[in-house]
Amino acid sequence: MKKFVIGMLVSNQAGVLTRISGMFSRRGFNIDSLTVGVTENPDLSRMTVTMTGSEYERDQMLKQLDKLFDVKEIKEIETSTAINRELAIVKVKANPADRLEVLTVANTFGAKVVDLSAETICFEKTGESNKLDSFVELLKPYGIVEMCRTGLVAIDRGSTTLKK
């Protein structure tokens, strides 16, 4: 079992997400995250999917997705030669006694304070997913009130693009 990242350009149309997510469930693929957003071309959206599975599952997923008419470009993104980013917003309990300590942790990770209340602090942290994992792990003892993560986005370094 390995972690794979797949990048896709898909038609910017109603129902595309349903087609793609439906394919995952129908063929029994387990995905860890899926992000979708606009691109420089209004007709296309970009999706990044992360999955854990065997090479067989990765190959099948790539081929089955490629068959969908709405999937215009698709390839596996090698994380070692790509820029991989995820964003997390974490709301942590921070009573006056803990506050300094929590801020030190955040500072070490380069997280930004985006909200502060009498009992909580909200951090915004962007980075590679494993960095976000460690950051969240270290905040847990203080009490995470709620959090959200965007899922990974990834883009190749250099002149390489998704387009063949």
Pattern 56-75, other proteins, x by CB under 8 A: x--xx--xx-xxxxx-----
Q: Does 76 bind other proteins (CB under 8 A)?
A: no
- In angstroms, give the least distance from the CB of 71 to other proteins: 11
Q: Which is nearer to other proteins, 26 or 163 (CB)?
A: 26
Q: Which of residues 82-111 bind other proteins (CB under 8 A)?
A: none
Q: Which residues of 133-155 are buried (b: 16+ CB within 10 A; e: fewer)?
A: eebbeebeebeeeebebbbbbbe
In 1-158, the DSSP E strands lie at 2-11, 31-38, 44-53, 71-76, 82-93, 112-116, 120-127, 144-149, 153-156
Q: Does 22 bind other proteins (CB under 8 A)?
A: yes
- In angstroms, give the least distance from the CB of 22 to other proteins: 5
Q: Which of residues 40-59 bind other proteins (CB under 8 A)?
A: 56, 59
- In angstroms, give the least distance from the CB of 78 to other proteins: 21
Distance CA 113, CA 134 (A): 17
What is the CA angle 2-4-9, rounded to 5? 165
By the criterion CB under 8 A, which residues form the site for other proteins? 14-15, 18-19, 22-23, 26, 56, 59-60, 63-64, 66-70
